[in-house]
Amino acid sequence: MSRIGKATINLPKGVEVTVGEENVIKVKGPKGELYEKLDERITLSIEDGVLTVNRPNDEKEVRALHGLYRSLVNNMVIGVSEGYKKQLELVGVGYKATATGQNLELAVGYSHPIIVQFPKEVAVTATMEKGQNPKVFLESIDKQLLGQVAAKVRSLRKPEPYKGKGIRYNNEFIRRKAGKSASK
């Protein structure tokens, strides 16, 4: 069996998992609800607050789906119980970030400010403290959506390897390169 697929999922208090018609799984918790359509070959069983993902046979494709759906369901359970957070940092002189509602206005070295509009499932806040780089905080219950939105914001000004300027994740390491050597 798949190492990931055979691992069980402990359901925290307040989290309900139901499988509806057409194999659509619904995970409901204190932070919200998430839905995912499961492959018809994958089944779920819940006993005493422990969820197990099962597969009917050992075909290669079914083995791959087994681990995939176990990870997706686990991410959904964590999302509705705890939520996910990402932090972006703007490194560069004059870089600014301002969050108003679902919009984020960025000044990242272009001739114009960039306005990014976020889906309603993602909460955005920005802080600018004196002496520190501006930070953007993203929060959501959907891990996939949060990662996609964070990658989109980062792609607006990727960190460059010479001075390290750009938008980066909080714990991201940027490998620096040496500049040109001065000639005689």
Per-residue pLDDT of the chain in tens (184 residues, 90 and over written 9): 468 888 999 999 999 999 888 889 999 999 999 999 998 999 999 998 899 999 999 888 998 899 999 999 999 999 999 999 999 999 999 999 999 999 999 999 999 999 999 999 999 999 999 999 999 999 999 999 999 999 999 999 999 999 989 999 998 898 998 888 766 6
Q: Does one domain contain both 109 and 136?
A: yes
Q: Does one domain contain both 93 and 124?
A: yes
Is 148 within the bounds of a domain? yes
Q: Does one domain contain both 77 and 89?
A: no
Q: Does one domain contain both 53 and 113?
A: no
Q: Does one domain contain both 76 and 47?
A: yes
Is 141 within the bounds of a domain? yes
Q: Pick the closest to residue 73 from 113, 117, 26 (CA basis).
A: 26
The per-residue pLDDT for 182 is 62
Give the DSSP letter string of 46-110: EETTEEEEE-SS--HHHHHHHHHHHHHHHHHHHHHHT-EEEEEEEESTT-EEEEETTEEEEESSS
Whole domain around residue 105: which residue ranges? 84-169
Q: Does one domain contain both 68 and 24?
A: yes
Q: Does one domain contain both 94 and 75?
A: no
The per-residue pLDDT for 2 is 63
Is 174 within the bounds of a domain? no
Q: Does one domain contain both 21 and 93?
A: no
The per-residue pLDDT for 110 is 92
Q: Does one domain contain both 39 and 104?
A: no
Domain containing residue 72: CATH number: 3.90.930.12
